Chain A
Amino acid sequence: MSPDFLNFIETFLNGLMAGVMYSLVALGFVLIFKASGIFNFAQGVMALFAALTLVGFQTGQVPFAHLIRAIFGVEILHWGAGMPTILALILTMGVMVALAFLIERLVLKHLVNQAPIILFMATIGLAWFLEGLGDLMWGADIKPMDVGLPSGGSFWWEDLTATWAAQGSDYYGMYIDTLDVSAAIIAVALVVALSLFSQYTATGRALRAVADDHQAALSVGISLRRIWVIVWSLAGFVALVAGILWGAKSGVQFSLSLIALKALPVLILGGFTSIPGAIVGGLIIGVGEKLAEAYIGPLVGGAIENWFAYMLALAFLLFRPQGLYGEKIIERI
């Protein structure tokens, strides 16, 4: 194989890995949008908040430490050596479920039957609130995330691919980040688990029923409020996973919440209501971005990775507004 072709494969693979990360964020949006028709602007901030909480628990930070110092003058930033990752994960998930419960109680419950735009506005408010709460609870400094995922390039893969190139050519193997690989594996597991859950459990069936026709769901005795708590908890879980993976990649910091912006083109491509759509959309954007950067970039002076996704989304809006997998509307004539 020629080095050029191998380079193409490398770019493609790295694109796929990046795409998986986009898919993960988009997935959270789709879950909530399907079940309640709300476009949850706070999804990115939820990922940030989850990551902050996880790191906070792990390293044994005291929540609201700065607030406590400001009010009581007591300096307690840490309460010990921290806790094992698994315990921190469980506690963080507990916090996300509690958050879902509070959101339903304090926000959604009072906005039943309001226009979607009002609910959307409420989620913007929620995003601001969570951002502030995250800062207040855990501080605004950039923290490293370490949950024991491998990271760095894979030497095994590099050595293996080095032998693929034609004899005598100048090729030293492909670079692939092991963190990206584990992210991909986790994402696949998550999606499989979610689809099994929605296909084969009574709660999953109820979730799909609510997504289809919430009035009818109400009439057969499905409690919408309970479903909303479940859905927001699920979205919180997905946000936690996304927060861990993105946090491990680039540190836990405010800019983590901006990954939500990358999810938008993914959603436009894949359709707002389709879980497979979120996955495929993410992969297309990831791969498209990397390939465009590598092959079109040099022609226009580079740095097109940042806007390529949005251009692609724009093209989709013009020609296929429901996205690749947007729910087909079944209508009898």
Chain B
Amino acid sequence: MLQKVDDTAPLLTVNNIEVIYNHVILVLKGVSLSVPRGGIVAILGANGAGKTTTLKAISNLLRAERGEVTKGSITFEGDEIQNLSPSELVKRGCIQVMEGRHCFGHLTIEENLMTGAFTRTDGRTAINRDLEKVYTYFPRLKERRKSQAGYTSGGEQQMCAIGRALMSRPTTILLDEPSMGLAPQLVEEIFEIVRNLNAQEGVTFLLAEQNTNIALRYATYGYILESGRVVMDGDAKELRENEDVKEFYLGIAGEGRKSFRDVKHYKRRKRWLA
């Protein structure tokens, strides 16, 4: 069934959400962001800033970890989705690739990919066609299709995890920390594939990443999270050129080597920024 969609409205919006784990631990203190259709948006920040929690709040995997969105709302294609189960969200086209790959170790690569099609009802031929498509994006997976995922390399597992998500025919992929534990060359390769998928298949990406440098090169827009709040956002290009971002996240100091006195100043400025 075709639906008339407003192309200018954001595909995914997060409005001022607050997330509490275990009824006591406040992790997100009012995060808002919006993801345009067909964009690549990056959530940046250090360890524990709340990137993963934000993604899990959207995909609703939070509940399985005793987390809860207590304030604010999340909309996907215009509908509020906080109360949808992950499987309903996957059916609607929003799927998360979890941090640390999480492939099914004892299943073969091909079986892993096929689990991604679990929610689909459009028949075998369509699913097999998509499997071939995934193999054209990730030729390496085709070589290893019969090996157990647990015995493949980290890069192959990351590809497998993304491929598995693609098998559900998503419109949006929430990609958590794709660079984790991978060699720089592989990270580049993965991001290159992300860009291709975005351009050729029209898949929208929201990615959480610690590697600010590479994320800002591939993303169109970025949000910087610090201790559960968005402290800065803007076009990727702008962020890349911002002095503070350069200093705090890209490790490029403006004016040469610094003395110890600057550290205090740095901390004060950073606190202010947060």
A111 within 8 A of B: no
C-alpha gap A71/B177 in the complex (Å): 64
Which of A113, A212, A215, A221 sits near B105, CB closer than 8 Å? A212
Is B118 touching A202 in the complex (CB atoms < 8 A)? yes
CB distance from B160 to the nearest CB of A (A): 11
A contact set with B: CB distance below 8 Å: 112-113, 202, 205-206, 208-209, 211-213, 215-223, 327, 330-332
CB proximity to A under 8 Å, residues B90-125: 90-91, 95-98, 102-107, 111-112, 114-119
Which of A112, A205, A215 sits near B115, CB closer than 8 Å? A205
B263 within 8 A of A: no
Is B151 touching A220 in the complex (CB atoms < 8 A)? no
Question: B103: which A residues are within 8 A, CB to CB?
Answer: 213, 216
Which of B89, B107, B168 sits near A209, CB closer than 8 Å? B107
* Stretch from B23-31, B60-68, B184-192, B244-252 at the A interface: B60-68
Is B61 touching A223 in the complex (CB atoms < 8 A)? no
Which of A202, A223, A332 sits near B85, CB closer than 8 Å? A223
Contact with A along B119-150 (1 / 0, CB 8 A): 10000000000000000000000000000101
* 15 A-B interface contacts by CB (under 8 A): A113-B65, A202-B114, A206-B115, A215-B61, A217-B115, A218-B87, A219-B95, A220-B115, A220-B116, A221-B118, A223-B85, A327-B106, A330-B150, A332-B153, A332-B154
How many residues does chain B have at the interface if contact means C-beta atoms less than 8 Å apart? 37
C-alpha gap A202/B115 in the complex (Å): 7
CB distance from B203 to the nearest CB of A (A): 16
C-alpha gap A196/B105 in the complex (Å): 20
Given contacts A206-B118, A209-B115, A221-B86, contact A215 B104 (CB under 8 A): no
Is A330 touching B106 in the complex (CB atoms < 8 A)? yes
Which of B90, B111, B115 has the largest number of chain A CB atoms within 10 A?
A: B115
Is A332 touching B59 in the complex (CB atoms < 8 A)? no
> Which residue on chain A has the smallest CB distance to residue B65?
A113
CB distance from B97 to the nearest CB of A (A): 8
Question: A330: which B residues are within 8 A, CB to CB?
Answer: 105-106, 148, 150-151
Which of B66, B102, B148 sits near A216, CB closer than 8 Å? B102
C-alpha gap A202/B59 in the complex (Å): 23
Is A222 touching B151 in the complex (CB atoms < 8 A)? no
Given contacts A202-B118, A205-B114, A332-B154, contact A218 B106 (CB under 8 A): no
Is A220 touching B118 in the complex (CB atoms < 8 A)? yes
Question: A216: which B residues are within 8 A, CB to CB?
Answer: 98, 102-104
Question: A212: which B residues are within 8 A, CB to CB?
Answer: 104-107
Question: A112: which B residues are within 8 A, CB to CB?
Answer: 64
CB distance from B169 to the nearest CB of A (A): 11
Question: A205: which B residues are within 8 A, CB to CB?
Answer: 107, 111, 114-115, 118
Is A218 touching B111 in the complex (CB atoms < 8 A)? no
Which of B61, B91, B112, B150 sits near A219, CB closer than 8 Å? B61
Q: A113-B65, A218-B86, A330-B106 given. 20 additional CB < 8 A pairs?
A: A202-B117, A205-B107, A206-B118, A209-B104, A209-B107, A212-B104, A213-B103, A215-B64, A215-B102, A219-B61, A219-B98, A219-B102, A220-B95, A220-B119, A221-B89, A221-B118, A222-B118, A222-B119, A330-B148, A332-B153
C-alpha gap A105/B114 in the complex (Å): 28
C-alpha gap A113/B22 in the complex (Å): 11
Question: A211: which B residues are within 8 A, CB to CB?
Answer: 106
Which of A202, A215, A223 sits near B87, CB closer than 8 Å? A223
Question: B66: which A residues are within 8 A, CB to CB?
Answer: 113
Is B114 touching A222 in the complex (CB atoms < 8 A)? no
C-alpha gap A327/B106 in the complex (Å): 9
Which of A213, A218, A221, A332 sits near B104, CB closer than 8 Å? A213
Is A219 touching B118 in the complex (CB atoms < 8 A)? no
Question: B86: which A residues are within 8 A, CB to CB?
Answer: 218-219, 221
Given contacts A205-B115, A223-B85, A332-B150, contact A218 B64 (CB under 8 A): yes
